[in-house]
Structure 1
């Protein structure tokens, strides 16, 4: 196993880090030939979203650690280096890169299925040890609630053991397969550890045994009610955090206990006919979110909405 940093100096103070993965997807769309080596994974798009608000030289304060195998395309590696970020790569000799198969089930970008076709090379908190990424001021997770309950305290302990006491903003995306009603208690435990919890609306509904997979039956009132239930439980150690429910083409629903306010923000895109594939849009949105200078007249993290 070999770790290779980008040219950026190790002393760089990070503003944003994601523990999301890098996945090489095989993409199947209805009536089209499969596309291979499609860049995917929550880490890719969260990093990309943050990069939109951090042009050079500030982009060097955006940290990302990727794990790759022997088959990782050199062209993709060079593409990531062109982002001018603090990129750390761990090359896992004798292993394949993380690969997945994504299948859209209809002619729209609605219902889809995903499976890993190789063993996932996950990023763990211990991978941040002795890197400038550990001291980042914000961090993004996409995990199951069980993993969040395990990993977030690990990150905090590692920071404390190295004398890093600066405030940390944590945003958590529940892993879609884990959003089922038997995991509700674990999800409520996990949100107590974060500043922002952000499921998409279908995942949030599934957690409460509500089926919202039919896009034609989209009902904002149902989403608002479910968001209220999450907020009533309390997000963050002070219970002042926020829930942001991503709703695709309908935008997002942001709810904060401190402000006692709920707001819908519309989706933003220039020309829907140019959208090739919306995969990763929600991850990118959350990367934007942590680094956007202004959103709804103020910060939405750490209970300040």
Structure 2
């Protein structure tokens, strides 16, 4: 098949730092060491679970502070999937993730936990200037004109990205759009509606989807289904996929209606360590699945669920155990088959 760019993300590489606070804002744990972060990073690794490194990719803006250990970790997934751009004018993008109340593992099934009225707060802020990536950055690189384009941003910025895509002649990628959490607010809804006809797959998580529509009801399955239907009617081109924690993901298309895709791990699974990046990994796996399953978004979502299952088994990114395709000492194909069997039994 060659090194054809199939799945490319415009998400930024971020060096994450974490702090854990009690309800009064006092530190409960020592700050963690810096970790590889960024929704785009998790998304491209989620796609890498299924595709060779030459078919997935991400631009990494590398400042003079870029840790050699992170360089090695990324290259272990395959050197072909990274395009490093050295920046001498600024540091690598860094961000602080603050968790107040429960440990960040508590967001494993935030939908279910919200229903149980468990209070959990988190916040995110950049510590350095953001080094944003646009479709124009892909031109004249090995990532030019990918089949699938993934981006995470506000609806307003998504409009800019889609304009650049339209300006590129003879390029009509499958656009997987993940609204950035802090812009999933009612004020952004008009900007979102304006771009929906250009969005192949819209995928907020359940909390974000409800927030965009000013809905304060608990994100239970029936409400999630109604919200997905609303977004589809507002103009999404192909499908709405609402990621819903341990409930799984609700997939709705114009042609075939709605279907729940289960999460691979149950809510109380001991294998779940940290859900950071789970949703991003899901969308990377979904993107790869779209290629493998010839555009079937329902089946592609099973690939996404498996990618997410590897992301949440440890703090940070999953481990590529060997070049034969083993991740975290297990094979994605085995998990996919198990998930398909579970879906068959539930039907």
SS of 2:270 mapped into structure 1: helix
User: Structure 1 stretches (4+) deviating beyond 3 angstroms?
Assistant: 293-298
Q: Distance in 2 between matches of 1:190 and 1:33?
A: 43
- Report what 1:7 is aligned to: none
Shift of 1:274: 3.4
User: Which of 141, 146, 152 matches 2:162?
Assistant: 152
Measured after TM superposition, the shift of residue 104 of structure 1 is 1.7
1:224 is matched with 225
| 1:28 lines up with 2:23 in the alignment | no
Structure 2: unaligned runs, 5 residues or longer: 22-27, 108-119, 299-347
Counterpart Cα distance in 1 of 2:260 and 2:293: 10
- Shift, 1:297, TM fit: 10
C-alpha distance in 2, partners of 1:112/1:295?
35
Q: Establish whether residue 118 from structure 1 lines up as the match of residue 128 from structure 2.
A: yes
1:72 matched residue in structure 2: 66
TM-score, with length taken from structure 1: 0.84
Quick one: distance in 1 between partners of 2:292 and 2:264?
Answer: 13
User: How many residues are matched?
Assistant: 274
State which of 261, 273, 276 in structure 1 corresponds to 2:270: 273
1:196-218 Cα offsets, whole Å, 9 max, x none, are: 00001111111111236xxxx44
Counterparts in 2 of 1:293 and 1:180: CA distance versus 1, 3 Å: closer
What is the aligned partner in structure 2 of residue 196 from structure 1?
Answer: 201
Q: Does 1:289 align with 2:286?
A: yes
| Residues 133 and 248 (structure 1), Cα distance of their counterparts in 2 relative to 1, 3 Å cut | same
TM-score by length of 2: 0.74
| CA RMSD in angstroms, aligned pairs only | 2.2
Question: Could you list the per-position Cα deviations for residues 160-200 of structure 1 after superposition, in whole angstroms to 9, with x for gaps in the alignment?
Answer: 1xxxx365211000111111111111111122111000001
* 8 Å CA contact 1:45, 1:287 repeated in 2: yes
- Separation (CA, whole Å) in 2 of partners of 1:211 and 1:103: 24
CA distance in 1, matches of 2:242, 2:134: 26
Report the Cα offset of residue 28 of structure 1: 2.2
